[in-house]
Amino acid sequence: MAEFQPLAAQQRIGLIGGTFDPIHYAHLAIAEEVRVTLNLDTMVFIPAGQPPHKHGKEVTPANHRLAMVELAIASNPAFACSRIEIENTGPSYLALTLQRLRELWGPEKELYFVVGWDSLEEFHTWHTPQEILRHLTALVAVGRPGYNEDPDSQERLDRIEARVPGLKQRLLLVHAPLLDISATELRERVRQHRPIRYQVPDPVEQYIHVQRLYQE
């Protein structure tokens, strides 16, 4: 599959990255909620090639994770998948990915990148956070199950702004469905021969079993 090329009319593009090991319904529900809430033309899923935050941890080969994402989003014409990080050598730093997407798609596109509310507390530790903000129209924060801090708290927003000046101006909060599904738990369920149906799309479940993923 060729690299996703947004149509000329697609000016507002949502980006959701992750290891997707495996992709599950919580990912899909968040992507659709953000797309509809912000009136985006497209949501692009970006599977990580070498996730820098998982250095030293076992990650399923990228070709399998990419295949599962493509299967999961196939039924939604507003969803697309980019292999830009998988085809890149070296760690999948968001700042570099956004730079390459800007070069590929042009400066006129509006780019909205989705993160969890909890990740905002660690955003200052990401690789060149100011460079990330420079390439984005907005950073879109969504809820995570078990995260109890009020995302609208002025104290909290002031704290993250102090760590990354300018972040508040680029921040949008979206209240998405809180589906408590964990990729880690899904992998463990497969190892224990427990069902994962209704937690991942059927084609993803079938792919996992046919390819014998997460068996050991």
Give me the mean pLDDT over the 137-159 stretch.
Answer: 82
Cβ contacts of residue 184 below 8 Å, gap of 6+? Answer: none
pLDDT score, position 188: 97
CA-CA-CA-CA torsion for 145, 150, 155, 156, nearest 10 degrees?
20
- Residue 143 counted as domain residue: yes
Residue range(s) defining the domain that contains residue 23: 19-180
Give me the mean pLDDT over the 17-42 stretch.
Answer: 97
- Residue 2 counted as domain residue: no
- Residue 118 counted as domain residue: yes
- Residue 149 counted as domain residue: yes
- Least confident residue range of 20-34, 88-102, 177-191: 88-102
Q: Above pLDDT 70, what percent of the chain?
A: 90
pLDDT score, position 9: 66
> Is the pLDDT at 166 greater than 60, yes or no?
yes
What single DSSP character describes residue 122? G
- Residue 78 counted as domain residue: yes
pLDDT tens-digit map of 38-92: 999 999 999 998 766 655 578 999 999 999 999 999 999 999 999 999 998 778 8
Confidence of residue 148 (pLDDT cuts 50, 70, 90): low
pLDDT score, position 68: 98
Cβ contacts of residue 33 below 8 Å, gap of 6+? Answer: 142, 174, 175, 176, 177
pLDDT tens-digit map of 99-130: 999 999 999 999 999 999 888 889 999 999 99
- Residue 207 counted as domain residue: no
On average, the pLDDT of the chain sits at 90
Q: Can you tell me which residue has the tokens 């968001």? A: 94
Structural domain count of the chain: 1
CA distance 30 to 92: 22
pLDDT score, position 109: 94
CATH of the domain at 155: 3.40.50.620
Confidence of residue 5 (pLDDT cuts 50, 70, 90): low
- Residue 27 counted as domain residue: yes
- Residue 191 counted as domain residue: no
